[in-house]
Structure 1
């Protein structure tokens, strides 16, 4: 079976990140929201676009 090195690396990093938060989804979500807020990027909400399409 083919194993992609990049996919394996992503899985490893994801597992390390989850372990850092004791696999607590609420804590992970809160951390991601904090990172987003501190990132300074604009969040675009497409559901409020005007026009018919």
Structure 2
């Protein structure tokens, strides 16, 4: 957002995140593998949820989350 004050903590987090991503040429799969390896090496226990099912490709919603092609709330 233009003309928004810059928070130094946010700037630092973004710089660290960008530097980490740059180490892996911004390859999301490689970044994820590295983060997973760091978690495994830490010895800490992390919560892992089962994968959620993927919605079918014909499921479409408008910008308000309503199913596309459906009636608007309150309409008849």
Q: Which protein, 1 or 2, shows the higher relative CO under an 8 Å CA cutoff with sep ≥ 6?
A: 1
TM class by smaller structure: 0.7 to 0.9
Distance 1:46 1:13, change over 3 A: closer
Please tell me the root mean square deviation across aligned C-alpha atoms, in Å. Answer: 1.7
Runs of 4 or more off by more than 3 Å in structure 1? Answer: 44-47
Query: What TM-score does the superposition give when structure 1 sets the normalisation length?
Result: 0.77
Query: What TM-score does the superposition give when structure 2 sets the normalisation length?
Result: 0.55
Structure 1 or 2, whichever has the larger Rg, is 2
Q: What is the count of residue pairs matched by the alignment? A: 47
Unmatched runs of 5 consecutive residues or more in structure 1: 48-53
